[in-house]
Amino acid sequence: MRDRLRQCPGGKRGPLTGPNPTDRGKSGSKIHLITDRNGLPLSLGISGANMHDSLGLEPLVRGIPPIRSRRGPRRRRPAKLHADKGYDYDHLRRWLSQRGIRHRIARKGIESSTRLGRHRWVVERTVSWLAGCRRLHRRYERKAEHFLAFVGIAAALIASRRLTDRMKNTAA
């Protein structure tokens, strides 16, 4: 009886559930990005799929280029940053506060992420636009620099499309 309970549904011996689905030993790549409130990519990065998301926040914020404003000097950092629960760490909150960036990060176990959803859908939409590029759907390149270059080209195409659509709408 005990041996029967240990068998997999297919009849082969082994654990019932298989490997842990949240295993950190995954192979592959993740695309990290920061967008403005309209969905234009401002900063891009890639990492291994087994790297935690919170480790990619600081390089992304540092990688935001200076943004021209209508008045005054160029802005070198965003005024506010929205992030999900994967970035809920005190050292990230302190790091953002030291740079004068207000943060809105959902707290694990306290806040639901539905309130952030109205801001995060912009980023999710941009990620889906990037996923629409066939070359980025699956990583074929062996070198990370080549894959990052393709992500940059796709982001430039997205920005070009968004800006030409905006110009058409203002001219009409």
Residue 130's φ and ψ, nearest 5 degrees, are -65, -40
How far apart CA 133 and CA 157 sit, in angstroms, is 10
pTM: 0.69
- Sequential pLDDT tens for the chain (172 residues): 455 444 445 444 445 455 555 555 566 778 888 888 888 888 888 888 788 888 888 998 998 888 777 788 877 788 888 887 888 889 999 999 998 899 888 787 776 656 666 677 788 888 888 887 776 766 777 788 888 888 888 889 888 888 887 777 776 6
Closest CA to 129 of 102, 154, 103, 160: 154
pLDDT value at residue 93 = 92
Domain ranges for the chain: 50-60+75-116, 132-172
- Which tokens in the block code for residue 70? 């209508």
pLDDT, tens digit, for every residue of 60-80? 899 888 877 778 887 778 888
